[in-house]
Every structure is written in structure tokens, then in C-alpha cells.
Chains A and B, each alone.
Chain A
């Protein structure tokens, strides 16, 4: 590194640095900027400006030469993430290049990454559910992992705070274990979903089928337009109707005049000042020029995504932290979690032939957790629980492939909608196991010569028992709801398929067994905050992003009050 003169160092100095611009990084940037901190957001990927950089947002299939297909070159570029089934011509530019960014699967693990401004907030599923004390108390009660240093009351006001700004649509239900959010009007169920809802709720007291709770505007909010029901969300939304950093938090951060974004900035490590006993800044590699540079700040928010934030901490070694910044406990990189994926059932619903729907709803149904809530619902086969997502609709021309028919009448019959189908697929909570881990691999380097991650993670007995129950319950519910041609399934997907990576730098009460404290600060280096999926102490069975938003806003608030008290 060149020696900086004092002037130059000043030019590289900010009040706060945020690493990453995805869901949690965007929130960190907004909160810190709005509280008056000059904030530098470092994004390893390219700039993606809202609307301007959504090249496929309005394309119909016939507008694309391959109508959504990918060339062999692009298939290779996504040879890992492509397993998800989510990558095509309309969105591949928002998925990371797997060839330039290798990782090693010690056991099978699909890691979906998005290296650009906005990260995976452009691509996410947008389902938003609050956690409850059923989740925050789980580790303490059944002895898996360590106790969360927070409870629902600590995060509840922050859920409300982020929901009001992000815009969450949904239907209040009053369930204690799935608290209601501050809701915009819900989206509508279709007739078959309403029918199955009434059947399930009648047959199974205590089970509910509701419309998904989603980060979509059903009414305009803060200058953003409402959802137009095009269901082309993962191409970027021209109306700003779903929550993404690009459409929502980063413009708000920018409006303060305190935001600087530097794209193509790969954070190699956090710099630890041995004398002061805290972090002084970060070292980056310019992704385009390979130049190494340093930026300085009083506080650092690590929001690179669960595994990438941990990778940066592991790569940040010093005399004080020879095994990675904040790794006194030896838990850094450990206790990796995800949700199990694609286990459930589907079937055909008879009748309703004269009914259809209008619009392409970017949302489905949700069946909240109903097991292990109390003594009455306790299972003797597993701890924790699961919820279901799914939905109903009428089959289209695609169903023609399986019909034993061809010719003119066959063709014309496919112009009309086919039978109604309905499916549910479960998401099970994963326990935090010390041996499910990531660690630095210095034998496999990325395009910039940096060590990569090895991921060693698998489902264990409890997850398998949950999955077995999911499959059984799904089939039984659809049978009792009167569906026909039911197919139940368990695709045995490896971890990573849920795209809900959590843990590896967990929060906890005791520095001996955790990496972060109750306000997301590294125990022994309090001006470094980690508020993305890495911080999670357990995984619940609900989608985690809303909780990242709330934890981030809460931690940013704490960071600024500590700065004011001169504690950082």
C-alpha cells in the first residue's frame, strides 16, 4: 500500500462504511445517512440504477430471440446457481458469475449470489413474516444452539418501523406465534384458494390458510407506484412496487446528501487498529483495476450477505484476532442454517370450470406453523416447526405436453384454460449445528486472487423428521380438501435451495459462544456491526429478510447513539 499523506487519508474517510447494498445494507445506508452520518456504501458488483438498469422489465417472450432460453456460455456462467431453476434470459444479469466466484461444496450446497447494487433485493421472493418469542426462545427452551440475546419486545417497534417504510401487504390474523405486521391491504385469494381455505380451516381447527404477506405495495406509498400484477419482479420493477434497495432504501439514503456509493469494490478485509482496540476501516480491491485501497470510518456495518460477511471477517486477521475478526469464541463460520425446500403435495381441484382470475399475482398462500406451539400441538418426533407456501391456478398450454393428444382440436383446446391445480410446499426450520460450517479455502482463489469459501453443511435427523411430517401433512390436507390426482413429493434438496442462509456469525449473550452481542456488535470490536443473515442465532421457519431489516434499523440506531456518547 502507498503511504497516504494526511490529506489523502481525509479524503478516504467517512463517518460510516456499509459493506454491501442488498436488503440489510440498503437499510443500514438509509438509517445512517438519515441520522447525519457521511456514509460510504461499498458494493462489489456494478451499479444498477432503479428503472434505468432494468433492461428486461417490459419484455414479452417473443421480444427475446431465445424467448427466455440461455446459451451454453450463460448456462456455464451460472453452473451452480442455475440449479435453482430461477435463472433465465430475463434475469441472468442479476445473478453472480459462478466462474469468477468459485466456492467449494464439501457437501452439496447451492449458494445463490447477486453481485450488484441492490444484491438479491432485486431477486428475492418478498415474503415477509415477523418472528415471535416462539422463535426467540426456542434455543433456550430445547437446548439447541445458544440463547438469543433479544426477545420479541426488543425488535417489535423496529418491525413496525421498517414495515411502514418498506410497505408490507397482508391480512391480520392475530396469531401470537406469527405476529401481524403493519399492513397495507392484502392481495386477494382466488376462488379455489378460498375453497381450500374453508376446507382446511374446518377440518383442522388451529390451522389457517392466508394470503402471503409480501413486500409489495397494494396502494401507492412515498411516491412509489402500486403493484400492476405483471409478475415480472425479478427483472426489476418500473413502478418501484416491490421492496428493493434500488427502489426504496438507497434513494432515501441518497436524498440526505450523505451517501456515497462505490461500486466494483470487493472488501478484502476489515482493518483492525491494535492500539485503539477497534476497527479503523476496510481494505478493498477494485474489481475492475485490481487496485488495492483503504477507506476509513468510525463504524463499519457488514452486510455482504450471511456467508460473504463471515468470509470477510475470517479474512480479517491481526495479532489480536489471528483466526478472524471477532472469532474469540471459535464460532465464526459455524452454525450455518437454511430452510428445507420443495417438500409438499399438489393436486387437481374439480369444478370451478366457469371461474378464472385477472392479473398475475406475485404472491401465493401461506399456512402458518401449527406444530410444537404448546403442549397440545407438541410432536414427539422433532423439535421446532414448519410453514407452507403454495397457491392455486388453472393450467395453461404447458399442460398439453402430457396430454395423449395432438392435432388441430388439441391445439385449439389449449387456447382455453385447463383444470384448476393447487400445491403447497413446506419450509422447515433448521437447527444450528456447530459442524455445519464455512471456512476459508486458500487453495481455490477467485478472479481477484482472494481465498474462497468451502461450505460443509447438511440436513440432520431433526430436519429430516420435519420434512417427513411436511410431506405427510401436505398430502393429508389436500386429500381431505377433496383434491384429485394428488402427488406428494420431497425433492431432497441440499441446503442453500431455500436461499435463506443464516448464521455463521451468530448473536449471543456470551462472548465465549457467540460472535455478536444483542445489538449486532462484534463482542470484542464494538464498532463493527453485522446485521445480515450471518447474525442469526436460530432460523425459525419463516422467511428471514424482514427480520434483517428490523435488526439493521435497530443496530443503526444503537450505533449512532453510542457514537454520540463517544462509546465507539
Chain B
């Protein structure tokens, strides 16, 4: 151990207390992909068709973009690929299979091949039979959370994928990255849509 080594380790602090936020150049993997070229990272082609049909039934295009417009299906594939461990991935595959088998039993086809009326019938019965999420306090559920099942959990993920997309977050919800102030009572008419952040 010599002194030079100790000095090398001795860092001084930057004293500046205020700095303007810097600009980031960002890599966004989703952005570069166009719909037509979409190759799933984790899902098989059939599973991907299921996820696309699911998010499209849940959040179709209206005057505002639909889930497919903002590539929610592509994002969910990425989430399965990169945040799920092997066991959770296996579970997704099994659940999609099960979902499609139920559709075949009831309507004769897998979910992605059903017409909109049949898809809605499937969703309606799933809504009725799926347990709900417990309310959350500070990021985690309160009380004992019963498993909500595949339908509600995928629905919740699709909502996340849709509303946290750049298109919706910046152009359709109310985007205000640096509010600068907090006002506790403001007429909704002055604000309009939900805050995006």
C-alpha cells in the first residue's frame, strides 16, 4: 500500500448544488421496429397472434390510438422475454394454450381467429369470473392478494403497456414532466385528461 494508491482512491466532490436537467439521447428498441417486421423475442408466432388479438379487443382504435397502434403487443413480448424467469415464461405459454383451448371448446376457434362478437363474449365471462386486484398502498397490495388469474393479470399488463407508451403518455394523457409547483385544488376543466406521470 502506498500513498499514491490511497490518493488515487480519494475522490473530491463536485460542489455544484443546482444543475439543469440534462438531455438524454435514448435507445428505444421498440421505436425502431415497424409492425410488419415484428419478430417476437419470446412468443411463438401463434402466441404473438393471441397477445395481439387480446390487446386489440381490450383497447381497440377509436378517435384515439389502439393498443396495436402503440405496439403494446410488442412491448408485452419484451416484458415476457426480459423480466420473466423460466418458470414464469412457461406459465405464460401454458396459460395462452389454456385460454385458446377454452375458446375452441366454446366457439370452435382459437381466440385470434374469433370474430369480435365471440371475443367479447369470452372477455365478458372472463371479467365475471376473474378475482380482482386488492388496492395498493405505496406500491404493494394491502391484505392477502388472491391470484387474479391470467386474464386480469394480462389485462393489467396491457393497460400498463398502452398508457406508459410515449404516444399515449405524451400526446393523449396530460404530460407535465416538471410541474414546478403543487396546487391541491384545481378545477378539472382547467386540466382535462389524467396526468400521465
Contacts and interface: CB of A to CB of B under 8 A. Distances in A.
| Bind each other | yes
7 contacts: A62-B169, A63-B26, A69-B82, A259-B13, A355-B185, A361-B182, A414-B194
* Closest 7 pairs between A and B when the two form their complex, measured CB to CB: A359-B182, A190-B184, A85-B140, A359-B179, A401-B156, A62-B166, A489-B142
A86 interface: yes
B82 to A, nearest CB: 6
Interface residues on A, range: 35 or more
Interface string B172-190: 1100111111111111111
B139 A86 contact: yes
Interface centre among A47, A68, A291, A359 (most CB of B within 10 A): A359
A162 to B, nearest CB: 17
Interface string A72-111: 1001000000000110000000000000000000000000
Contacts of A67: 75, 160-161, 164
Interface of A: 2, 8, 11-12, 47, 49-52, 57-63, 65-72, 75, 85-86, 187-191, 193-194, 222-225, 227-230, 238-240, 247-248, 250-251, 254-255, 259-265, 286, 291, 293, 342, 344, 346, 353-361, 394, 396-398, 400-402, 404-412, 414-417, 421, 423, 425, 487, 489, 491
A360 B176 CA distance: 10
Interface of A is mostly: loop
A415 B180 contact: no
A188 B83 contact: no
A62 B143 contact: no
B74 to A, nearest CB: 12
Interface residues of B, number: 89
B188 A346 contact: no
B64 interface: yes
Interface centre among A2, A225, A247, A417 (most CB of B within 10 A): A417
Interface of B: 1-3, 6, 9-22, 24, 26-30, 57-64, 66, 75, 78-79, 82-85, 120, 123, 127-128, 132-135, 137-140, 142-143, 152, 155-156, 159-166, 169-170, 172-173, 176-191, 193-195, 197
A12 B79 CA distance: 50
Nearest to B11: A47
Contact of B186 (A85, A286, A355, A401): A355
A70 B185 CA distance: 36
Contact of A188 (B11, B138, B159, B182): B182
Given A58-B22, A187-B182, A358-B179, 7 more contacts: A65-B82, A66-B78, A240-B18, A251-B13, A264-B9, A342-B142, A401-B152
A69 B83 contact: yes
Given A11-B3, A417-B194, A58 B84 contact: no
Contacts of A361: 182, 184
A396 B143 contact: no
B78 A355 contact: no
